[in-house]
Amino acid sequence: MVSFSDGTPPLYVTGDTVWYDGLAEVAHRFRPGVVLLFAGAARTRGPFDLTMDTNDAIETAHAFPDATIDPIHCDGWAHFTQSAEDLEHSFRAFGIGYRLGLLEPGVSTTIAAS
């Protein structure tokens, strides 16, 4: 969690994880305005994801209802089994596509909180 002295809502970086109830506790305690979500359903060994899949990302979006969800770490390597496009499709299907901020790798971007 990154907090700012100027009143900007906190920034939360999930790191390599999948959905678990502890994320709901983070959402409740800190109310971040932006969540940098490690997505892509990375599989480095066996059938287990190292990073969030689209279902985990949707759960996270529901747990952080006031945050913009910016998936990162989800494209460019062979061990990713889902793409940013998969996330975009899922978020739109659930009617929350407006909360998804797709960042372009290598491009400087200003991120705004919801």
Band of pLDDT at residue 46, cut at 50, 70 and 90: confident
CA proximity to 53, closest of 29, 24, 17, 106: 17
Instruction: Give the mean pLDDT of the chain.
Output: 88
Residues 27 and 48 sit within 8 Å (Cβ to Cβ): no
User: Model confidence over 51-90: pLDDT tens digits?
Assistant: 889 999 999 999 999 999 999 877 767 777 788 899 999 9
pLDDT > 70 in the chain, percent: 96
Band of pLDDT at residue 33, cut at 50, 70 and 90: very high
Task: Inform me whether the pLDDT recorded for 2 exceeds 80.
Answer: yes
